Amino acid sequence: MVSVLIPVYNEAATIAEIVKWVRAAPFRMEIICVDDCSTDGTREILDRLLSEGSISRAIHQKKNRGKGAAVAAAIAASRGDIVIVQDADLEYSPSDWPVLFEPLMQGKADAVFGSRFLGGTHRVLYYWHSVGNGLLTTLSHMFSNLNLTDMECCYKAVRGDFARRLPLKSERFGFEPEITARLARANARIFEVPVSYSGRTYQEGKKITWRDGMAALFHILRYNLFP
């Protein structure tokens, strides 16, 4: 079974649609949504989806804590053989899941990272985002000795038992560098596969900013030097 972990914050416009996309995937699954104290009606939509049976669990954070805390809560509640993070903003498509899951299902990998830079179809957007991503990924590699192309990609599929043993502490967008560092220190077998990407503009609701990039820099140093 696949545990689909969906952290949600103010995604009333897209959450029902992404759940529909997820449910169309050809896998037995549980869908765990964690609302990070949304203020736009997302909570009510999740409660409706739960009552309809469209999702398996709806966890409501008592205060806004960030993506990392939401994902950690979802992992703790998961039961699947594979866990995968699915953002609620329609930037990533579950149509990429079969290639993500294949190394795990074949017993070759403990974790599989998606990459937006290995040839998958992607929307052309912000140059400086790609520069920042490259710098953060390179710095992460210097400590972890991995050779990923896209550490910040949302799609990370991990063996469920492996994921539930990781001591994840980061609450916000430090989740990506932290889980990378944790997997590297655990000597996880990591594969990387191309995924498609349809990024949003800030006008369309994109939330990550340069401040999150600076925070990611801090988290790379923190979780690699002081695990």
pLDDT in tens, 129-138: 677 667 777 7
Q: What's the Cα-to-Cα distance from 184 to each of 140, 146, 191, rounded to whole Å?
A: 10, 7, 12
- The predicted pLDDT at position 200 comes to 43
| pTM above threshold 0.75 | yes
Q: What is the pLDDT of residues 11-40, one digit of tens each?
A: 999 999 999 999 999 999 999 999 999 999
Burial of 49 (0-12, 13-18, 19+ CB in 10 A): buried
Architecture of the domain delimited by 2-225? Alpha-Beta Complex (3.90)
